[in-house]
Structure 1
Amino acid sequence: MDELTGITVLRADGERLGPFVRRHLPAIDRAVAETGVALIRGADAEGVGDFQQALDGLGFRPLEYTERSTPRSEVGDGVFTSTEYPAREVIPQHCESSYAGAWPGRLAFYCATPAATGGATPITDVARVLEDIPAEALRTLEARGLRYVRNYGSGVGLDWREAFQTDSRDEVARFCSAGGLEWEWPEEHRLRTVRRAPATLVHPRTGHRVWFNHLVLFHQSSLPEGLRADLVALFGEDGLPNDVLFGDGDRIPDEMVAAVRAAFDRRARRFGWRRHDLLVIDNMRWSHGREAFTGERRVLVSMSDLITRADRPEPALRG
């Protein structure tokens, strides 16, 4: 069942998407400022060009997708396919690029082709989800922080050339140095990076403390049990493409991550895509994910309003 209560839905009634967005920009901006999300439904559109016109109307200055974690294709200027994982896979809740040194403040999703079945994009208010994470787990994660460990070039996951959009090791070194990312080359074509980051941040506009990290998506427990065991056997505990530990390098217990995942499950809001839907969200107020699906689902995404980790203070710890 769709859960649109509390989400501003603007009905376009067949009007062309780009002109509708420009004409209703004040209402869209107001909805995103107040609730962090707006859905434009029922517009007429033909594809990437109409989406880009809508992005222009929204005032987007599309960002490059750097320090990538998932495979995507760029299909227009600053317009990407959503994560190209197999249709049978569920993508857990996450805020875009919350593992990175910089991330988009706003996202826009456009549904070119809805799935035959499934394929919804659940979204979750990451301030409210804090209320459902067990207090002791939250205190521990905030106090100890997180350590993202990523390994590229093993033949599983992204190659470093794709992740950093360059074939120059020197360019990678400059990116890592500028972005506060530790790196090493265990072998000539294999790269390992480490980033230490907090579990929560303060939202730049609302001043609210928000859950902002990739714990649920990057932790080993997000993998199917058989695949997890196979990858650990092949590459070792520290060699998986993506992983997240406590800031001091200790492993985060599966049970703690399961409790966080359950909090997201309780708070998630779901809606099924309809053709030409346009969803605009505040990336630091709402996480997103993807259900498994059948059919030819095609959802495009663009990112805007760069925020860097240096700009965002950690919240004071709460007892």
Structure 2
Amino acid sequence: MNVLNGIPLVEADGAELGDFLRTRAPSVEAALAESGAVLVRGASGDGVGGFQRALDALGFAPLEYTERSTPRSEVGDGVFTSTEYPSREVIPQHCESSYAGAWPGRLAFHCAVPAESGGATPVTDVARVLEDIPPEIVEAVDRRGLRYVRNYGSGIGLDWREAFQADSREEVDRFCRLAGLEHRWLDDDCLRTTRRAPGLAVHPRTGRRIWFNHLLLFHQSSLPGTLRTDLVGLFGEDGLPNDVLFGDGEPVPDDMVAAVRDAFDRRVQRFDWRLHDLMVIDNMRWSHGREAFTGDRRVLVSMSDLITRADLTQPDRPAPR
């Protein structure tokens, strides 16, 4: 099997994507089990319908997207647009929903319209990233854990109705209770949630220790330009749409986050999307992000194989120094 920038590559030679995967699903799944990522290239297709047939062939049982952190549109049964942020913005590396109590085990991305320039979905092996992060940072994150603080309804970021796909406070209360998510209703119909979670995990199949969190995407230092100081000035330190602290509530220093970002930058793998490309990744082996782009870009995504924190064993913590 060929490899493109570290990702196993399967050539479809013009076959319709769904038909191709009905016959080649075992080899694609074997590549995914071995490497945690696979790219199918050179297929033909017909948009959402072809993508859904491909998902069926791969045994996807598409998940709902709840406790959302980014705006998306559902364009088919369990098929969503990728994050609808402005094209100039870069989305840092993250494992989907690693801030939540449950997340998808597999993600599938399908390129319906490639960008004119940029717009790649770079991916990174989070077990290898862990090897490159300074040990003192790994030890601090592992020992102290992380705390995700999210605010909904301020006019910046998502409204709680969109984030939780709910029409009433009672529905949100029920979701939070079942998901173990601390929450508090604020003035002006706003909501604040807090979740303390480990920053590391053990992959349930490989047994490898991995970096599994939303530190890069949610940390204040990821906000572009002067937006960070503007938002803190408007809403206060605890009022940002998304933030991540140490589990004890102390801020994670910017220089620590910068060191983690450098580790990801050294390990990132990227390719330029082509029309009808399909990439499937193991969401606990590979993180993903998005480059800025020009022109039109339409990448679809679907999620499957729900994993909860109760499904995981925790990594052995290093001995105190």
Quickly name the TM-score band, shorter chain normalised.
over 0.9
* Alignment partner, residue 281 of structure 2: 281
| Residue pair 2:63, 2:304 contacting (<8 A) in 1 also | yes
| Other-structure match for 2:85 | 85
Conserved 8 A contact 1:148-1:194: yes
**TM-score (ref. length: structure 2):** 0.98
The whole-number CA distance in structure 1 between the counterparts of 2:146 and 2:106 is 24
Alpha-carbon distance in structure 2 between the residues aligned to 1:223 and 1:261: 14
> Is contact 2:95-2:284 (8 Å) kept?
yes
Paired residues of 1:12 and 1:20 also in contact (CA < 8 A): yes
CA contact (8 A) 2:5 2:271 kept: no
Cα distance in 1, alignment partners of residues 236 and 301 from structure 2:
34
Q: Do the aligned partners of 2:8 and 2:38 also contact (CA within 8 Å) in 1?
A: yes
Letter matched to residue 63 of structure 2 = L
Q: Could you say which residue in structure 1 is the equivalent of 2:244? A: 244
2:195 equivalent in structure 1: 195
SS at match of 1:239: coil
Letter in 2 for 1:313: T
Contact 2:92 2:290 in 1 (8 A): yes
Q: What residue number does 2:111 align with?
A: 111
Partner secondary structure for residue 157 of structure 1? coil
Residue aligning to 1:39: 39
- Secondary structure in 2 aligned to 1:103? strand
- Distance in 2 between residues matched to 1:187 and 1:165, nearest whole Å: 20
Q: For this pair of structures, how many residues does the alignment match? A: 317
**1:231 partnered with 2:231:** yes
Partners of 1:175 and 1:5 lie apart in 2 by 40
Shift of 1:30: 0.5
- Which amino acid in structure 2 is aligned with residue 16 of structure 1? E
Counterpart in the other structure of 1:270 = 270
Aligned equivalents of 1:271, 1:130: Cα separation in 2: 22
1:75 aligned partner, one-letter code: V
Aligned to 2:66: 66
**How big is the shift at 1:188?**
4.8
What residue identity is the alignment partner of 1:264?
F
Q: Whole-Å Cα distance in 1 between the matches of residues 7 and 151 of structure 2?
A: 38
Q: In 2, Cα distance between the equivalents of 1:181 and 1:188?
A: 21
What TM-score results when the alignment is normalised by the length of structure 1? 0.98
**C-alpha offsets along residues 248-306 of structure 1, whole Å, 9 cap, x if unaligned?**
00000000000000000000001110000000000000000000000100000000000
Structure 2: distance between partners of 1:244 and 1:19: 43
Identical-pair percentage: 73
* Deviation, structure 1 residue 22: 1.1
Q: Which residue in the other structure is 1:6 paired with?
A: 6
1:4–1:269: 8 Å Cα contact kept in structure 2?
no
Distance 2:23 2:49 in 1: 18
Pair 1:184 & 2:184 matched:
yes
After superposition, where does 1:136-155 map in structure 2 within 5 Å? 136-155=136-155
- How many angstroms apart in 2 are the aligned matches of 1:155 and 1:48? 31
1:214 counterpart residue number = 214
User: Is the CA contact 1:148–1:244 (under 8 Å) kept in the aligned structure 2?
Assistant: yes
Q: Residue deviations 1:209-234, cap 9 Å, x none?
A: 11110000000000024100000000
- Unmatched segments (≥5 aa) in structure 2: none
Q: Measure, in 1, the Cα distance between the counterparts of 2:149 and 2:7.
A: 35
- TM-aligned CA deviation for residue 5 of structure 1: 3.9
Are the equivalent residues in 1 in contact too, given 2:106–2:282 (CA < 8 A)? yes
Letter of the 1:121 partner, please give it.
Answer: T
Q: Does the aligned pair in 2 maintain the 1:201–1:211 contact within 8 Å?
A: yes
Q: Deviations over 1:148-197 (max 9, x none)?
A: 00000000000000000012101101100111100000225100000000
AA partner of residue 123 (structure 1): V
Aligned amino acid, residue 142 of structure 1: D
Where does the alignment leave 5 or more consecutive residues of structure 1 unmatched?
none
Cα distance in 2 between the residues matched to 1:56 and 1:22: 8
RMSD across aligned positions (CA): 0.9
TM-aligned CA deviation for residue 100 of structure 1: 0.6
Secondary structure, in 3 states, of the residue corresponding to 2:243?
strand
Instruction: Report if aligned partners of 1:39, 1:278 keep a CA contact under 8 Å in 2.
Output: yes
Aligned to 2:161: 161
